[in-house]
Amino acid sequence: MRVLVIGSGAREHALLLALSKDPQVEALTVAPGNAGTGALAQQRDVDITSGPAVVALARDVGADLVVIGPEVPLVLGVADALRAAGIACFGPSKDAARIEGSKAFAKDVMSAAGVRTAVSEIVDNPGHLDAALDRFGPAVGQQAWVVKDDGLAAGKGVVVTADRAVARSHAAGLLDGGHPVLLESFLDGPEVSLFCVVDGATVVPLLPAQDFKRVGDGDAGPNTGGMGAYTPLPWLPDDVLARIVGEIVEPVAAEMVRRGSAFSGLLYAGLAITSTGPAVVEFNCRFGDPETQAVLALLDSPLGQLLYAAATGSLADVGPLQWQDGSAVAVVIAAENYPGRPRLGDVITGAEKAGVLHAGTERRADGAVVSSGGRVLSVVGTGADLAAARAAAYETVGAVRLPGSHFRTDIGLAAAQGRIQL
Ligand code: GLY
């Protein structure tokens, strides 16, 4: 099988690494890739938002399967263009990708499927903002206001704050930019990311993971695209996991089939485990970053065959997935000033080490690897338990040099110390 992966992050690097271990995958191409992915795949350039351009590239490299990493091409319909051209694609249609692209659509699907989620309200008129803020947050006894961009914002469109002025300013800024605002009730409890390979009504869950969205240790500072992750979750009982699949993901997949928007690809359920059970924070229509880097490090089943089965409607024939024992931890190394405007162009050393996955990197004309984005690298460690996986990841982090960079030192720490309780 010849596979084309679309994207340029550490998630795509992790996908390529896992695909390269599948004996049925004979050739890998990535577009556009980064300075690390060239060791695994032929690198090509493409406008990833253009269906015709991705179709042309897939034909040129003879792809039997195209795996689309980021949400933007999915929301724009690149998977539809591939399917229309007769090319198998792992990734949902434009219609189904609205589960991430439009939070209003996602709420509607969840409501019809009877799935627990935050109470929410869309504000598109600045004149209604203050009254709406009064119906959420500490004003009505909740811990915080949750203010989101009702569209794609790479995780950075969300502000969770107990400070009304901060909530108001974020919402007003979004409205000024022409973006409708979603106000949500705050869901208390530890968060879980559960990735499910889905083909219509068939749902195959991967290992649950936890993501660290705030930039600093102890969840300090602003939200980011994700600063680290670990898997599996020692504090999450199997029966709660079964409830997430049976009471949330399967009903949502079935509802999407019912309304003619069947989902095919990776359905990412972001959840909070509240005192009254799991509730949905958001759905995404693709693999999450950086959870994928940790989750795929433990996957033993052949990834290419799994994704091809989903893409060709035969997921029901895939047996139970096989996983390595133990834990995996991914730590993101970010550029100076991220999640603000990152400093770019710094030389990185140590990035060729095993376990280092590239994201915002590029190769300079003189061969040096330099930073080219906010999240620069994801460093993955595995071990017999979470403490061992953390130790392995942070040992490698210590061997990487990027001037001005920063990373969290507490990825998976609370769980390793048994401090997460339901
Ligand atoms: N881990 C957050 C995201 O991928 O959206």
Contact 304, 24 (CB under 8 A): yes
Ligand 1: which of 268, 292, 293 to mutate, most ligand atoms within 8 Å of CB? 268
Domain CATH number, residue 134? 3.30.1490.20
Q: Are residues 77 and 130 in the same domain?
A: no
| One domain, residues 80 and 154 | no
Among 257, 284, 271, smallest CA distance to 91 is for: 284
Whether residue 347 contacts residue 369, with contact meaning beta carbons closer than 8 Å, is answered with yes
- Quote the number of domains for the chain: 2
Residue 154 is assigned to a structural domain of this protein: yes
pLDDT at 58: 98
- pLDDT score at 96: 98
Q: Are residues 89 and 124 in the same domain?
A: no
Does ligand 1 come within 6 angstroms of the Cβ of 155? yes
- State the pLDDT at residue 371: 98
Q: Residue 142's pLDDT is what?
A: 82
State how far the Cα of 267 lies from the Cα of 253, in Å rounded to an integer.
9
| Substitution site in 11, 271, 281, 284 for ligand 1 pocket (most atoms within 8 Å of beta carbon) | 284
Please report whether residue 357 resides in a domain. Answer: no
Contact 82, 89 (CB under 8 A): yes
pLDDT at residue 153 in the model: 61
Q: Is 199 in the pocket of ligand 1 (CB under 6 A)?
A: no
What is the position in ligand 1's atom list of the atom closest to the CA of 193?
A: 1
* Nearest CA, atom 5, ligand 1: 288
For residue 225, the CA-to-ligand 1 centroid distance in Å is 6
Instruction: Judge whether 419 lies within some domain.
Output: no
Question: pLDDT tens digits, residue range 353-375?
Answer: 999 999 999 999 999 999 999 99
**Statement to judge: residues 76 and 151 lie in one domain:** no
**Domain final position from 184, 218, 240:** 184
What pLDDT is attached to residue 319? 86
Omega within 30 of 0 (cis) for the link into 205: no
Residue 142's CB: how many other CB atoms inside 10 A?
18
Contact 246, 203 (CB under 8 A): no
Q: Which residues contact 27 (CB under 8 A, 6 or more apart)?
A: 2, 3, 42, 61, 62
CB of 289 sitting under 6 A from ligand 1 = yes
Tokens for 313? 């409607």
- Say whether both 22 and 69 belong to one domain: yes
CA 154 to ligand 1: nearest atom = 5
Same domain, 6 and 80: yes
- Give the residue whose CA is nearest to atom 4 of ligand 1: 288
Tell how far the Cα of 70 is from the centroid of ligand 1, in angstroms: 10
| Predicted local distance difference test score (pLDDT) of residue 164 | 94
Torsion from C-alpha of 222, 213, 285, 303, nearest 10 degrees:
150
Please indicate whether residue 291, judged by its CB atom, sits closer than 6 Å to ligand 1. yes
d(CA 103, CA 404): 36
Q: Is the CB of 184 under 6 A from ligand 1?
A: no
Backbone angles phi, psi at 149, to 5 degrees: -75, 125
81 and 149 fall within a common domain: no
Residue 127 CA to ligand 1 center (angstroms) comes to 32
What's the CATH code of the domain at 42?
A: 3.40.50.20
> The domain containing residue 8 runs over which residues?
2-93
Residue 69 near ligand 1, beta carbon < 6 Å: no
In a domain, 165, yes or no: yes
Domain membership flag for residue 197: no
- Cα 223 to ligand 1 centroid, rounded to whole Å: 11
Stretches where the chain sits below pLDDT 50 are: none
Is the C-beta atom of 288 inside 6 A of ligand 1? yes
pLDDT 10s digits, 247-289: 999 999 999 999 999 999 999 999 999 988 999 999 999 999 9
Q: What is the distance in A from the centroid of ligand 1 to the CA of 226?
A: 6
Residue 421 lies in a domain: no
pLDDT at 262: 98
Residue 375 belongs to some domain of the structure: no
93 touches ligand 1 (CB under 6 Å): no
Residue 289 contacts residue 266 (beta carbons within 8 Å): no
Is the link from the previous residue into 237 a cis peptide, with omega within 30 of 0?
Answer: no
76 occurs within a structural domain: yes
Same-domain check for residues 88 and 27: yes
Length of the chain: 422
Which atom of ligand 1 lies at the shortest distance from residue 291's CA? 1
Which atom of ligand 1 is nearest the CA belonging to 289? 4
Q: Which residues, 6 or more positions from 128, have their beta carbon under 8 angstroms from its beta carbon? A: none
- Both tokens of residue 222? 């602003």
Provide the pLDDT for residue 188: 87
Q: Give the residue, out of 75, 231, 282, 289, with the most ligand 1 atoms within 8 A of its beta carbon, to mutate for a pocket test.
A: 289
What count of other Cβ atoms lies within 10 Å of the Cβ of residue 322? Answer: 10
Q: What pTM did the predictor assign? A: 0.92
341 burial via Cβ count (<10 Å: 0-12, 13-18, 19+): exposed
**Nearest CA owner, ligand 1 atom 3:** 288
